[in-house]
Chains A and B, each alone.
Chain A
Amino acid sequence: MRDLKLEDKQLKLGNTSFNKESLQGLTETQFKKRYKGIINIDLDVAWKKIKGYTKKSK
């Protein structure tokens, strides 16, 4: 298996680059509490995208 480049291990949403592995197991409440006031896109929109990603990668 090829070694993933660091860029492949992150997910970019708005002004934030997330560690894909850190998103696994994160609940909506934890996400919104953690990123309130930090990311520059609506938290609900961001969560939907992240949920979509984490579902796909399971």
Chain B
Amino acid sequence: MQLWLIPILPFAGFVINGLFGRRFSKGLVNVFGIGSVVLAFAWVLKTIAGLGDLNSAYTEHYFTWIQSGAFTINCDFSVDRLTEVMLLVVTGIGSLIHIYSIGYMAHEHGPNHGGYYRFFAYLNLFMFFMLVLVLAANYLVLFVGWEGVGLCSYLLIGFYFTKKFATDAGNKAFIVNRIGDFGFSLAMFYIVKAFGTLDFSQVFSRAAGIPEGTLTLIGLLLMVGAAGKSAQIPLYVWLPDAMAGPTPVSALIHAATMVTAGVYMTARSWPIYTHAPMAMEVIAVIGIATAFFAATIGLAQNDIKKVFAYSTVSQLGYMFVGVGVGAFSTGIYHLVTHAFFKALLFLGSGAVIHALSGEQDLRNMGGLRSKIPWTFWTMACAWVAISGVPFTAGFYSKDAILLAAYRHAPWMYWLGTVTAGITAFYVSRAMFMTFFGKYRGHEHHIHESPPVMMLPLTILGLLSLGGGFLFEVPKFLSSVFPPVEEFEDLTLMLTSVGFGLAGIGLAILMYVAKPAMAESLAANIKGLYTLVYNKYFVDEVYDATVVKPLVGGSRLVLWRGIDVGVIDRLANGIGYGARDIGGVLRLFQSGNIRSYAAWVVFGSVLLIVALGLAAGGGR
């Protein structure tokens, strides 16, 4: 089956574009950059077709990576139905976004068209690592991909590296991710200690026999890693800042693929979690809390990309709820549909920004429906999908999660439904402020985006609308995950839909019918509004409690105290000591011959005494 080709094709694209892209024309960069991903997608299709009805995992072993006594780690790739779903999402959406980038990044020109080849090289590198992550057959190879996508995220967020806020955001993403990775590493150590191996098949088959306490600990630590990568409380702070990167990056990495790695990893580890119910409970609680929390922040944001960023955090929370209540396939289902409509929302906002030559503030948009109609209609598909309008893709997946949540704990259902309403509201708000009403900005040449950008938008629009009943993901994944009872309740379904429609309605009221209402409402609840608008000051709190003490401690204790005070003093002290000893010895060199003679006589007297003692002692 040659599974290794799937990640290697984008990696080859990275190498070629990275090393030689500087000298290529744009067309040649495109051939390698996009061609490699499209080829990978084609190979994925071929592999899936070749594997047929996969009921157990198909593994390919490549080489033994680590061999230490009884502990072995191999470089293996394995494919089961879950992997197939992920592969299709990653390569499919990845290809669409690569095609979109041709148009979006076309202006990155310079003597050697500047960052154009660099962008595609990094993007290809990201695809490589993501595919390694998805195909991995043990935790360590997964971790390689995990770290690699973190690296590419950093590189791509800080793509416009001459701008400080971009590089700061890249640093923030990487550092916060690192905290999560620390948890992941600890989890891996515990797995090795408890199971003696990191291989998925071996770990999962033995999970039943391990004490629940150990499994809970492992599960919680894995969750720390997932919280970092998938932007859950408390490690979500990097995702909104990551919008500093180019929009295709936000779409691919921070909506469709990288941030879902945490969900994927958690779903993959379901044998561990089903035997550690407390860990699952924690995951579900974190998920629903994040979903609600992020949705409220999204209400008040004015940057179009930030709105969708908080929306991503919120939707990821939904996925974790699905996984946390035991309905693993619903979490993955939402992952797939979210990839469709969230990528579309981001790409669409990229088209809007492109049309307005860089404007991102919602307050400066308006009335664009007539000027960029195609963008509007495709984004509208995503809008209805995320709002949970019946029969769209988002409706099916969100509904499945909410129902599963109700079975587990009704309060989660209610909180999730309220959040759905808020979600519908803020996305509608963004849509209305952008496309309806009067244009409030200054731009004169508002033009539709080129076809190369429109095509992916169209495809994603169709998928957002129809993807729900085209791809019956839970049924597809039923052989992978433990069986969940089929549950349908019309009342609950209608209630959640109702909340969603109410959200849209309220947005129509506030932003279309009576535009002034928004401002007056904001003025009336100024305190609360300020709190939400400033994202509950979480970043500031982190800065004060974690960052500043750490930096201050480093500076005072580690730098001044230890490095300068101890180590430097030690090193310099040796120098000073040598110099001082030399200074003392120098006094012998008086230049006076008689004193030299005196010292000689002194020495010879000592010698005589010594010899006498030696001989005397011998006698």
A and B assemble together: no
- Which B residues lie at the A interface, using CB under 8 A? none
